[in-house]
Structure 1
Amino acid sequence: MTRLPDYITALLLAAFVGTLPVHSQVCGNHQYRAKSGFCCKLCPAGRFLEKECPTQGSTSICEACPAGFFTAIDNYSEKCFKCQPCESDEVEVSPCSASSDRVCTCMPEFYKPEGEHFCRPQATTADVPASDGSTLPIAIGGAIGGVCLLVAALICFFLMRKRRRRAIPVSCNIQMENVSASKRDNIVNNQAQHEPLLHNVVCNGTVSQLVQPTDYSRYNIPVTEEDLMEIHKARADSSAVAFVNVMRNAGLSETDVERIQHDYKNNVEEQNYKMLYKWLQVKGRKATFAALLKAMDECRLHKLSEDCQKRFDEILKKYAKNDDDDDEDG
């Protein structure tokens, strides 16, 4: 058999690739998969998506964010995010712009404790009264009286607790599968009034779980780079402010967290997206939707978890539809 020339083979291969359906092709960098199936270019920071691109690989129609709103990264969000105002005990470090949120810091007489998001007044030496030594006997007497009151309070507490346990039976068969996260928290908090161990209750000599663990099995699917923007949008639409703790619980090292916070210290939105991106690079196929949801629930960010589950369901439906389309084409 005569061998075909190389250039004819290349032409035939190119013609075959051109016949593949658009949705089976992988979108390149700075592109996203549009609803039409085309790979469209992302809108730049400071703009939002007005209309998706009409053809494969073309530019989307993007509009500038209005005053008071921003997008910090390349995106295909259909709206800009509202800039956060400074609190009464904060001063503005950098103003809100179309591509960055407003950055605030505590006023000189205030400080922000590590891990918290609100400023607190600093203690001064004027707040501590000076002592000349004449009040020492009074202080000792007060301390002894305080200890006696504490002991009495503890005795009353244990007596009341013992009586309450006798009067209030606790059921071990609480069905929590169809209870929402907010109602589940109320049940846990109510139980805490009767039992310090919030999640466990002793019944018939055995320990049973009060709140059944959430079933994340249907979300046990690896996250792709194309999914990061959808996850980022779901997080931004929620009121949660402790997303960095979610990334720590999901397995991102403290070194990576601190490096990203340092590199993007004036842009919280960019920090959150870069942490997601680094987490995907580090964890690989272990970076699943389930891992994120579990980390959110462990941080007690149940509202964020519920919001993200709705967005994740849309993503997984899209994957299922693409697989069905591929089966039909095959």
Structure 2
Amino acid sequence: MRKCQLCILLLILISQSYTISHSAISGAKTSCLENEFPAKKGSFCCDKCHPGFKLKAECPEPNKRSECVKCENGTYLEKSNYFKTCFRCQPCKKPHFKEISPCKHDTDRKCGCEDGYYKKKLDDIEWECYPCKKCGPGQFKTGECNQEQNTNCSCKENHYPAKDNKSCKPCTECGVWCKHLCETTPIPVKSIHPTSPSGTLPQILVPVCACITVVALGVFMLYEGIRLQRKRNRALSTQTSSSSAAPEDQTFIITVPPDNINESVAFINQPCKPEQHRKLPDCVPKEIKIHEFFYFVLDEVPIGRFKELARRLGVSEQNIDRAEQDHRNCKDAHYQMLKVWSDSGSGGGNNVLPYHRIQMFTETLKDMCLVNCADNIENRFLSQDTSSSS
């Protein structure tokens, strides 16, 4: 009796373990290979159909093959699959479309553009055929038109793009595209040694140039000596008049140099102190119109030396390039460089350039060996009667 009970208990345990293992197997998710798919009728995997074939019936049990049929004409499937239907091949019916490769059961039909047209994308999927452009006047072809891109055109040498961007016009004045018209060869003012290799110039020109240079230096030094002496005499005259100053809270009368006899300038509580190093006294007002000074400088300084002058005056390369880009005309560009220089200084007022800034300007010209330009500016603006501005 006891043995029968043990056998019944063993059978119950075996049946329970079988039920648990079966339910666990049936509830688990089936894992298949890349070329397989899970069957709907059981927990096993069926093989996929090859490219160009669709699924007609899945495999009935493991180790059995699925039933596949070939795609009909005008349809295709490019990859291994278990689809019940095939994709329809795209048509090439849009304007100027042509067939590149035909539709097959495993590849879609490929479309392209006719000769003389290129593909232009409308979005990530859609595209249309547009006619290839032709290079206009003043342009030459840099890239052929094909299925993927339009014709590339560039301007010929010494040309710039027109506003319609369909043609190029020849350069007629200095600008961003015509920088070759902005450059000129600078003329050396003071040079003893010839710049060209020996033997290229006649030997007689060397001593002649040396003699001319020596004479020019002598005349310049004599002129500078006379000009400095006149300024010293003027400063001494001003100092003499200031030494006999009146008591405090009285009006000081300053006698102007002998060139302007019977003319005087009155200043209240401001004694004159002559500055050294060839500068006029601070008490003498000297107002010079900025635009008048700028246009005089534009006529005096050679065009080829103007950018060098702007750099020496402290104008940055960025401002120089911006002036050339904003103004195609050389004079307008150079005027803008001078405006940047005048705005960066101190003193003066609206549209008025202070005296010491012009002195610094002429000294810079002399450092560039543009002595004649500096002298003309000094004679025009620095040697005027001080009484004329009072």
TM over 0.5: no
Give the structure-1-normalised TM-score. Answer: 0.31
* Larger gyration radius, structure 1 or structure 2: 2
Q: Which has the higher contact order (CA 8 A, sep 6+)?
A: 1
Which protein has the bigger strand share?
A: 2
Give the structure-2-normalised TM-score. Answer: 0.27
